[in-house]
Structure 1
Amino acid sequence: MTQLDAYLSFDGNCAEAMKFYAQVLGASIEALITYGQVPGGEPPPASHADRIMHAYLVHEGFSLMAGDTPPGVPYAGIQGVMLALSFGATAEAQRVFAALAGGGGQVQMPMAETFWAEQFGMVTDRYGVPWGINGAPKPM
C-alpha cells in the first residue's frame, strides 16, 4: 500500500509540538525517539542528545511524522507548504483552528465560508507550522 505522510522539521521543540498536536487532534504518539536513543554509530553531540530524531503521530484519518534538525544542519523553518485538515463538521474545524491559533499562533485567514467549504481558515501555529482548516466541505 502506498501512503504519503508529511514530515515536519523543528529546531529543538519537536517533542513539545507533537504532544500539542496529539492533544488538539485526538491522536496518539507512537514514537518519540531522541538522537541519544539511536542505536549504533557515533553518539550525537550533547546539544542534540535529547532532541527528537523521529516522531510518529497517528490518527484514524492520517499520520504525521517529524523530527528536530540533525546535528550540523541549520534550521530554515517550514516553508512552501501548508498542512490541510478537513472536518465533516464546522464546530470541530473551528475548535482545532482556535487551538492552533492560540498561544502565539498567527491567523492568516480567519474562518469564513468559501465556495468549497462552509468554513475555511489559515493559521500558522506557535511552532511555525502553516495549517489550512476546512469544515463541512461543499460539493464541487
Structure 2
Amino acid sequence: MATLNTYLNFNGNTEEAFNFYKSVFGGEFLVVQRYKDSPGCDGMPVDDQEKLMHIALPIGGNILMGTDITAPMPPATLGTGISLSVDATSEEEAKRLFDTLSAGGTITMALEKTFWNALFGMATDKFGIQWMVNYDYK
C-alpha cells in the first residue's frame, strides 16, 4: 500500500517552522536542502538561494516535509483547508503536544475529554498550521 505524507509550503520561514516541529516531536531531519545546493538555481536572488527547497522530519511512521515558496510560484496561502492530526500514545503526551503546538498560536477547541471517549483538542500554531491532537482512551 502507498504511504501518504504531508508536505507544507511556507513563505520563507520553513526552517523556523521545522525547527519548532523538531522541538515538539523530536527526531532528526532526514534531508535539509537549500535552493543554492541545487542545479539551475544560481540565477535566483541570493536571499532565495538560502531558503529551503526541501526538508523532511520523520514523525512516527510518516514524514512531515516542507519548502519555502519562491518566485515564479505564487505565495503560499495558509488557511483552513487542511489540519494535521496527531494521535498521541498517552494522555500526558497529548497534553504536552497540544500545549507546545498551541503556544503562541490560537486554541480552537481546548484539549478535553470528549463524548467519543478520547482526549481531543484543536489549535492553530504560530505558523498558521492547524493541528488536531487526539488520545483515544480505548
* TM-score, normalised via structure 2 length: 0.89
- What is the CA–CA distance in structure 2 between the aligned matches of 1:57 and 1:92, rounded to whole Å? 19
Aligned to 1:94: 95
Asked if 1:35 is matched to 2:35, the reply is: yes
- Paired residue secondary structure (2:29): strand
Whether the 8 Å CA contact 2:30–2:57 is kept in 1: the answer is yes
Aligned position for 1:19 = 19
State percent identity of aligned pairs: 34
Structure-2 separation of matches of 1:56 and 1:50: 17
Q: Contact between 2:42 and 2:49, CA under 8 Å: does it hold in 1?
A: no
Contact 1:117/1:134, CA 8 A, preserved across alignment = no
In 2, the alpha carbon distance for the partners of 1:41 and 1:72 equals 13
What's the TM-score, normalizing by structure 1? 0.88
Aligned to 1:36, the other structure's residue is in SS state helix
Coordinate RMSD, CA, aligned: 1.7
Encode CA deviations 1:77-106: one digit per residue, 9 max, x unaligned.
22300000001211101101111111x211
- Say yes or no: does 1:116 pair with 2:116: yes
- CA drift at 1:46: 2.0
More displaced, 119-128 or 109-118?
A: 109-118
| Superposition deviation, residue 117 in structure 1 | 4.4
1:38-57 matches, within 5 Å, as: 38-40=38-40, 42-57=42-57
Give the Cα–Cα distance (whole angstroms) in 2 for the partners of residues 17 and 41 of structure 1: 23
| Equivalent-residue separation in structure 2 for 1:94 and 1:109 (angstroms) | 13
Residue number in structure 1 paired with 2:68: 68
Give the structure 1 partner of residue 82 of structure 2.
Answer: 81
3-state DSSP of counterpart to 2:110: strand
Mapped contact 1:8–1:78 kept (Cα < 8 A)? no
Deviations 1:24-79 (A, max 9, x none): 11222111111111124553222311111101111333210100112222324223
Taking structure 1 as reference, are residues 69 and 41 closer, same or farther at Cα in structure 2, changes over 3 Å only? closer
Structure 1, gaps ≥5 residues long: none
User: How far apart are residue 118 of structure 1 and its match?
Assistant: 2.8
Can you give the 5+ residue segments of structure 2 that lack an aligned partner in the other structure?
none
CA distance in 1: counterparts of 2:7 and 2:95, whole angstroms? 24
Distance 2:62 2:115 in 1: 25
Distance in 2 between the 1:33 and 1:109 partners?
36
* 3-state SS, counterpart of residue 29 of structure 1: coil
Deviates more, 1:24-33 or 1:10-19: 24-33
